Amino acid sequence: MINMNSELLKSINNPFRFALFLLAKLPIGFLAGLRLLKATPEEAVVCIKYKYITKNPFHSIYFGCLAMAAELASGTLGLIYSMGLYPEVSMLVVHMEADFVKKGKGKVFFTCTDGNIMGIAANETRATGEPRTVVSTSIGRDINGSEIARFKITWSFKAKLVKPRC
């Protein structure tokens, strides 16, 4: 069985609480207008809109904003398996690859369906103390379902082992 922080999952699915989380932990995501539309143990969907603060000179969403939304979609899944459980697990992006298929205009929805593999990695590092890496994929699609971008994000998971007091 994969351990998961169900309270955190419930909390981040509340739009107001998620906005507060962004404001505190990822303020540029708050300013860019990132929205978590859905988070389950297996899947997360994040939306970003083309607007003044996310635009580039080519009349589309800046690639950095797309990367931020893609990372948040996959990172949300990792968080529910790593935060608030003993021992906690730290997460870090160690590599990223991206393919840009077409311009992101309007709304772009990034979906990551790698919750299970992220949960397994978090639980393995918690059990063994050895770091684990996972490559997750976040796919961005427009309102019509056309692929805009595909990000492969490599996450490192490592248990935060408590040092004994002297």
Domain 6-159, CATH? 3.10.129.10
Unique residue bearing structure tokens 């998620």: 18
Domain parsing of the chain, residue ranges: 6-159
Contact between 156 and 78 under an 8 Å Cβ cutoff? The reply is: no
pLDDT at 165: 64
The one-letter code for the residue type at 156 is S
pLDDT at 6: 87
pLDDT at 88: 87
User: What's the residue count for the chain?
Assistant: 166
**Is residue 42 pLDDT above 70, yes or no?**
yes
DSSP for residue 110: E
Contact between 108 and 31 under an 8 Å Cβ cutoff? The reply is: no
pLDDT in tens, 114-162: 999 999 999 999 889 899 999 999 999 999 999 999 999 999 999 987 6
- What dihedral angle (degrees, nearest 10) is formed by the CA atoms of 155, 159, 160, 162? 180
pLDDT at 34: 95
pLDDT in tens, 56-101: 999 999 999 999 999 999 999 999 999 888 888 999 999 999 999 9
